[in-house]
A and B are shown apart, each in its own frame.
Chain A
Amino acid sequence: DAKTTQPTSMDCAEGRAANLPCNHSTISGNEYVYWYRQIHSQGPQYIIHGLKNNETNEMASLIITEDRKSSTLILPHATLRDTAVYYCIVRVALWTGGYQKVTFGTGTKLQVIP
């Protein structure tokens, strides 16, 4: 799996959009970008994933650059409950092979400030 680089920490004012960047310059054509988050002391939670098109769901939006070397997770209206560590992961598409070991880095610690 391609390696990712994320800032160690970020702050965001409550109610504003939180934009979390991720660099994955060695990503392969068949690798997806996944985002998870881990609220303090809880198990990681899936947020969103994408291949090359921008994606949106009820939790967030994912913007992937045209060259796919970086992406941004957007939380449109951050709340205090969004304070968490956010992990960006790239993984080969499931149907290209067997089990894919997931490598979690240290992620970005997002602090939402009142």
Chain B
Amino acid sequence: NAGVTQTPKFQVLKTGQSMTLQCAQDMNHEYMSWYRQDPGMGLRLIHYSVGAGITDQGEVPNGYNVSRSTTEDFPLRLLSAAPSQTSVYFCASSYSSKSSGATDTQYFGPGTRLTVL
């Protein structure tokens, strides 16, 4: 299994440009999430999805859109990039079993380092 993959690894944008960060997982996980991490700070949740066709907002959703058309893919769209969106973006997926004792260990991708000029 490749686990959670993210592309691109690095990206530089100009203010106002749009782009899509790709995230894919091959573990058949229902739950997927996007986080951003700014220097010296913890991870902040942007958007998450509990299954194909279902998404919801996290702590810092403004300026980002998501969709979940398949179980495997969860792209993050920046509508009009701003310097404040310069950050490292991590995608994560986790299992969703309701069985007693099941855990929802999150698996993270390697991250996308985005710079907005």
Contact = CB atoms under 8 A, between A and B. Distances in A.
Interface of A: 32, 34, 36, 41-46, 49, 87, 91, 94-95, 98-107
B75 interface: no
Contact of A101 (B42, B45, B95): B45
A42 B110 CA distance: 5
B60 to A, nearest CB: 12
Interface residues of B, number: 34
Nearest to A105: B42
A49 to B, nearest CB: 6
Interface string B65-99: 00000000000000000000000101010011111
Nearest to A99: B50
A102 B59 CA distance: 10
B1 interface: no
B111 A91 contact: no
B25 interface: no
Interface of B: 4, 31, 33, 35, 40-45, 48, 50, 56, 58-59, 88, 90, 92, 95-100, 102-111
A103 B92 CA distance: 13
A45 B107 CA distance: 7
Given A43-B111, A49-B103, A95 B98 contact: yes
Contacts of B59: 101
A32 B104 CA distance: 11
27 contacts: A32-B103, A34-B105, A41-B111, A43-B109, A44-B43, A44-B90, A44-B108, A46-B106, A49-B103, A94-B96, A94-B97, A94-B98, A94-B104, A95-B100, A99-B48, A99-B56, A99-B96, A100-B104, A101-B45, A101-B48, A101-B58, A102-B43, A103-B45, A104-B42, A104-B44, A106-B42, A107-B42
A104 B4 CA distance: 19
